[in-house]
Amino acid sequence: MNAKEQFIEFMLSQGVLRFGEFVTKSGRLSPYFVNTGLYSTGEAAQKLGEFYAAAILEHIGEDFDALFGPAYKGISLAALTAEALWRVHGKNRTFFYNRKEAKDHGEGGSFVGKLPERGARVVIVEDVVTAGTAVRETLPLLQAQGYEVKDMIVSVNRMEKGQTEKSAKEELKETFDISLSAIVTARDLYDYLVEKGQTEQAAKMKAYMDTYCVG
């Protein structure tokens, strides 16, 4: 079993990935749903961090200084990934995150954690990308600190159209010069269903992808 299959089965075992009929925020009827908030044990958290760390080293490499987790789900993901990068791979990196609302007392500001120096290369760590909203909201904050942000890692790339007919991945690259990497994509989920002989669900996935997905 390859790493993508392992991750898909890991998500299924945790109830994070479900197949069926779900209405998305955009009002689309989706044949699958991903809720990373359902990772709820220490064991699952450890494994999740390991999957992210391995994906970063595979797709992005080790030439970066810090991990940034957008509030809220990205906060724990950045911490877990940083821990796994150190424990499993011996790569020691800073992690930090933002608040939804800036704090005007104590250390103040929008960020929490020890901030990297100006010019640091920062990787954004998120759960799922559909339209790239998290990047559009947080990138200006990071750029204002003088950080170089060229990469983003997510667990699932839904491969759906963004604000145009292009995919969110294409839009992020063209608009912000950010490369999007994912542990798995919607295409990987479809391939998994086909391989497991789940023909009815695979057909629903294909119909959805033909309508809403790019690439």
Establish whether 47 is a catalytic residue: no
Which residue among 25, 103, 196, 204 is the active-site one? 103
Contact 149, 195 (CB under 8 A): no
124-156 as b/e: b if 16+ CB within 10 A: bbbbbbbbbebbeebbebbeebebebbbbbbbb
Establish whether 100 is a catalytic residue: no
Please name which of 12, 13, 36, 29 lies closest in space to residue 134, comparing C-alpha atoms.
36
User: What distance, in Å, lies between the first and last C-alpha atoms of the chain?
Assistant: 24
- d(C-alpha 211, C-alpha 169), whole Å: 17
Which residue among 4, 91, 100, 105 is the active-site one? 105
Please identify every residue annotated as catalytic.
Answer: 103, 105
